[in-house]
Amino acid sequence: MKSELAVGDSTWIELIFTAGSNKSTVSKSAAVTTNDTIVGKVSISFKVDVAEPTDSVLKLAAKPFELDFGPIEKKRRPKLETEITNLSPEEMELQIVAVPPDYFKKVELDDDKLKPGEDTRLKVELTKEKEAEQFRKTITIEGRSKDNKTKFRLTVPVIKGIGDEGAGKAGNAGTKK
């Protein structure tokens, strides 16, 4: 991501929403200010209804919930994986719908169709350029039923150099069924 742009140049701006302890409607906004005399300032606002997770709400789950590439000082740990489980009563077709650009060499699912109770692995490989950086990113997976009536998104946090390494054992997630 660039911090300065030339005329006609562009860059990505990433906004991450964390619900925290909220369990209601939450509004958030962000502003981008420029020295452009025509545009000047652009505001982005969104509103989210945060539902308390219950078995009836969750359709997909990740174990571990977060992928932690460990501290910056750690030599190499470029590949991690998490197990994605279909918690819904119907078959789900999975698709990776959001990945931050330039952070990962590979992000892939072993299977893109899961029957109820089945699981697959999400495999993530860090680019060499990002091994020495501290970051907090997310990967989003969308699950849809065959008839497209059920749609659910699962966001998997991916971190490096933040907090302790408790979730860092992600490379040892359970076996595929």
Identify whether residues 73 and 158 lie together within a single domain.
yes
- Rounded distance, CA 6 to CA 8, Å? 6
CATH number at residue 168: 2.60.40.10
Domain that includes residue 15, residue range: 1-52
Q: Please indicate, yes or no, whether residues 72 and 158 belong to a single structural domain of this protein.
A: yes
The total number of structural domains in the chain stands at 2
The token pair that represents 30 in the structure block: 């962000």
pLDDT, tens only, 69-118:
888 876 666 899 999 999 988 999 999 999 988 899 999 999 999 999 99
pTM, two decimal places: 0.67
Q: Which residues pair with 134 in a beta bridge?
A: none
**Angle CA 84–90–96, to nearest 5:** 40
154 domain residue, yes or no? yes
Share of the chain above pLDDT 70, in %: 81
The whole-number pLDDT of residue 51 equals 67
Is residue 177 included in any domain, yes or no? no
Sign of CA dihedral 39, 10, 107, 64: negative
Is the same domain home to 121 and 35?
no
